[in-house]
């Protein structure tokens, strides 16, 4: 993503306070981009995880938090951020997969900027301004897909209580659930390796799965998966 692109807008007399959530290499480029847009934007800080962003906000909340979905936290972390802060959330990713983009919006992002777009840098600056004003940064096709997905989830909630719980899982949590249930004897390290994530990330997924499904342990998880054809 280019880092020396001047914004084409004047937002207000007060700069938009921006916090970045990205791994160091990506954060470096995003920092340069936000700094190039001064005085319209002001970089409030840069951290590597959503958890770090929440702990570092302190008494002052940013106007917009830009989250790189290509970091380990993924789209599922946006739900936590959305529930804990009044800041507007904007996601960036290099992934072309529409499912990831849609999940980010459903989780609380006001829009998704693709880092691979030709005008990615300028688009990000424009998107920051728009979400700060209360608008969204998604195209019409995405709006339609998200609406249909929300209808599908609502329908599953009406049909069966356990289907409702399954629909509350993120894509990665569902992958973790099916992997765990498919091999009850596997260790956490083996499951994490299959999913290409760290054991710490797997533990976070499992904690969230237990909470959402109302489970106490791995035996309960296996039984739940068996009942719902998830093994």
Whether 119 and 157 share a structural domain: no
* Res. 8: pLDDT tops 70: no
Question: Are the C-beta atoms of 113 and 129 separated by less than 8 Å?
Answer: no
- Read off the pLDDT of each residue in 70-79 and give the average, rounded to a whole number: 76
CATH number of the domain residue 190 falls in? 1.10.10.10
Say what the pLDDT of residue 166 is: 87
Q: Which of 137, 165, 197 is the last residue of a domain?
A: 137
Say what the pLDDT of residue 4 is: 46
Question: Are the C-beta atoms of 32 and 152 separated by less than 8 Å?
Answer: no
* Res. 65: pLDDT tops 90: yes
The DSSP bridge partners found for residue 91 are 67, 112
Q: Coil, helix or strand for 112?
A: strand
- Provide the mean pLDDT of the chain: 85
Say what the pLDDT of residue 229 is: 82
Q: Tokens for 182? A: 């498919």
User: What span, in angstroms and rounded, lies between the C-alpha atoms of 200 and 187?
Assistant: 13
The parent domain of residue 64 ranges over 16-137
What is the count of structural domains for the chain? Answer: 2
Q: Which of 103, 137, 171 is the last residue of a domain?
A: 137
């Amino acid at each position: 993503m280019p880092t020396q692109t001047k914004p084409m807008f004047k937002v207000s007399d007060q700069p938009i306070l921006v916090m970045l959530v990205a791994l160091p290499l990506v954060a470096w480029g995003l920092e340069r981009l936000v700094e190039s847009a001064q005085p319209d934007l002001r970089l409030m800080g840069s951290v590597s995880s959503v958890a770090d962003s929440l702990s570092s906000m302190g008494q002052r909340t940013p106007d917009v938090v830009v989250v790189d979905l290509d970091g380990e936290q993924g789209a599922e972390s946006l739900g936590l951020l959305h529930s804990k802060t009044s800041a507007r959330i904007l996601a960036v990713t290099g992934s072309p997969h529409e499912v990831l983009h849609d999940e980010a919006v459903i989780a609380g992002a006001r829009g998704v900027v693709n880092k691979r777009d030709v005008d990615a840098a300028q688009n990000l600056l424009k998107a920051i301004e728009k979400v700060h004003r209360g608008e969204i940064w998604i195209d019409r096709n995405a709006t339609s897909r998200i609406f249909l997905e929300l209808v599908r989830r609502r329908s599953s909630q009406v049909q069966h209580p356990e289907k409702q719980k399954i629909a509350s899982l993120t894509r990665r949590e569902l992958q973790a659930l099916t992997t765990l249930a498919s091999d009850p004897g596997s260790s956490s390290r083996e499951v994490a390796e299959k999913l290409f994530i760290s054991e710490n990330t797997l533990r976070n997924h499992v904690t969230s799965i237990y909470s959402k499904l109302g489970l106490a342990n791995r035996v309960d998880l296996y039984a739940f998966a068996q009942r719902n054809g998830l093994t």
